[in-house]
Structure 1
């Protein structure tokens, strides 16, 4: 069975290739036959339908093209095909509909198809077609409006000539109106009447028939047709037409009179005089019911009286209309006068209001001057009482100050209690004076960074180079960032998370280890530095950040989402080892009891837009998959060295063209082609718009990244066993002994060494750095407890002795 399926699939591919070859040679009928056979062999491949639709489009078989595109879209959605294929089918359908719209002037179906195509997959070409279609629709609607206005103008001119009994000129204007608006039954009715007066009865009959065809409920069409038939001697046909018109208005006197005249002519043609019974008999032959015949009889009896009354009423109406027009002109004149009067009154009122405001301002100033004068007089006369009042007020303010100081002290104690659990996990609590001394009173010359929540300074604290982050004390966001960073970094430790050395709660200041190589953003933006960041180092950094994110997302009891992952928040130490920093907007996720999911919801998403999860921006829901999206953008930047604007589309286009090497940053060496494709594909999957489509970091992503890292960084061992050295991170190795460190200490040069090795170095009379060969400022050593914890965790995970 599998062999048969493979044979059918191979046959389908051959049909597709044959169809494509015929299509390129414009043998369209042959291409259609090949695509049809391919679709039968492989119903799950919608490209056969879209290709056949393209051939139909060139053959001007637009309905067949639309049919194939609709079938392709339906099958594609059922089979969950690539959005690009579905979008291409919708765009092709829109092209066919645009061709049809050029004839039918109906662009709405094509516009809907283009909008659906953009919803499936964004394309500049499709957007341009949509704009063109909307412009064409607007132009068509505008032209129709202009044609209707022109038709109304010609019809009004024709009516004027008709009233002057200039029927030839009237018919000409009605003809022009028909050209502009061929769907208006009134124009055909009016021209039919002109043709009747001009004696062109057959042409008048055609216009009357067209009028009835356009609007079967338009009574004048039946009256015109019946009149032509009567004049042509076709009394029976005229009688039948009047009966049809009677259905539109059973009480119309003109219809009833026409029926009577037709009945009389029919009777005279048969050699007698028409009576009511004759009309009843004739109408009976036309299968009308007795009630209608009785109604006709009664109407005919009343017709004469009503006709005279109608004539009198018409004269009265004409007189009333003339009087109404006169009154309307008088009314309009009065309205115009009233409008001018109101405008004049409004201007006067505005001027009055301005004068009143000026008067009020003068009165206020005068009142202030009088009050000041009275106050001065009162102060002079009552100086003793005022002095005594000031003394009592001073005592009251002193009491209030003491109360306020007491409240502040209580709040400070509460805050200290709140942070006590968090601070105990840190190395120490620094005082404000220590930090001022370490940073030379926060000198601008030592400022190494500045952001929305505060500034970062380089300093020497307790013989150790540190980074001091001062948050803005007057900002609620700054206070929130302080508590958030202390809360998270006091709970978690990882080799690729920046180490928090301590804090000063009094001044909302954080103290971190100093990383001398700055941020990854600095290296990517500077062409000289970018070249020093080799492709092997970039792959290692990708693996390091991936491991840090996995560690955060798997944190117990509550996962941690960074929320602002970007190159500017990835710092590099002296060995270009990366560490994730800036946890000010990170969140501890609490599992929901309703839907068993972990997320953080906010109404005001914060972060860097170019790296932010689109679903976080739209819904305010922050999940671990939000970091996955940011991680994908960072990987693309490391691959290409390009800015983040539009970087995803650049890589997608290059992959679609099969020319991925054209966008890769080749200044750092020749990337292995397999690594490029794997990382680009992985990054694009991480940046899917829907978070459900993004891969899991700890599963598929880490498996691929770890394999790539091991292949890129494979090297022989040096001193310890091959098993230890091949798997141990480089920053776990002592630069002097080349062994994994047991007791790491930080020296004055900022590098970390095994305590016994660096002490032996110093005891042997060396006063320079083993790494830089520069003179050491002092011989004091600081324990690197964070790195020691990370090494012990790593050894335990690999079942190695501590």
Structure 2
């Protein structure tokens, strides 16, 4: 009989909740708990009222109580998961994403609610970005850069790398830092990584000369002299009297003594070159160019085609004058 009375009080509480009469809902849920303290639902319903009242800390404590009661009385795991999810929601409402995510994962360990799985991905993404932004500190980045420079001067490139990487995390929009790390990668013969860093550097600051000259140096290390030459030429377009770019360009011209046929064979191993040559549209353009050299002018107006043709030029597949 007591259990039936408890259910009746819960139903009255639900009716009051729907009417947003939260004070009355609390009275009925408290009475239901008094009559049957073993029913998890009474606690989670009361927690729902606290949540609507924005009394999030009290909601969290009530949900924790609900979980304890539920475990002690072998409640359905879905009900326990619901209580854990509401704890998560309370933390999220307080902009505490870290604890919100922790309790969300606890809820999912009880029951993998598809909607909660989606929400977890979203919250994790937002939290990661928030932590990344909070970590940014240009002043500390400069300190890390200075430490990296000291190790670089000593020839201790692995330790220099650690500090440059930390500097980038602290100031990810600083083009200079990617250039510094590229120099380190080049010294460690990680040329492809150096080129990638130089590309990032150039993207962030197209006028920063070191991005181009260090890209040229890395490409020379890969014996990609055509590409290196272009990098130095781009640097000279920005700063015509840049000595480093001039010296690099001259080195490319002197060192580019690779047998053309061998260079072509090596270029054909490049997946990007292979993809371009397999493209039916590009094959048609190349055939047209071979029959009518003047046709290239029209194709150069298309940036995408121009980029592909420049790739083939650097690979020694086509000639462009």
Larger strand fraction of residues: 1
TM (norm. structure 1) is: 0.19
Q: Which has the higher helix share?
A: 2
Q: Which has the larger radius of gyration?
A: 1
Query: Could you state the TM-score of these two structures normalised by the residue count of structure 2?
Result: 0.45
Bigger relative contact order, structure 1 or 2 (CA pairs below 8 A, ≥6 apart): 2
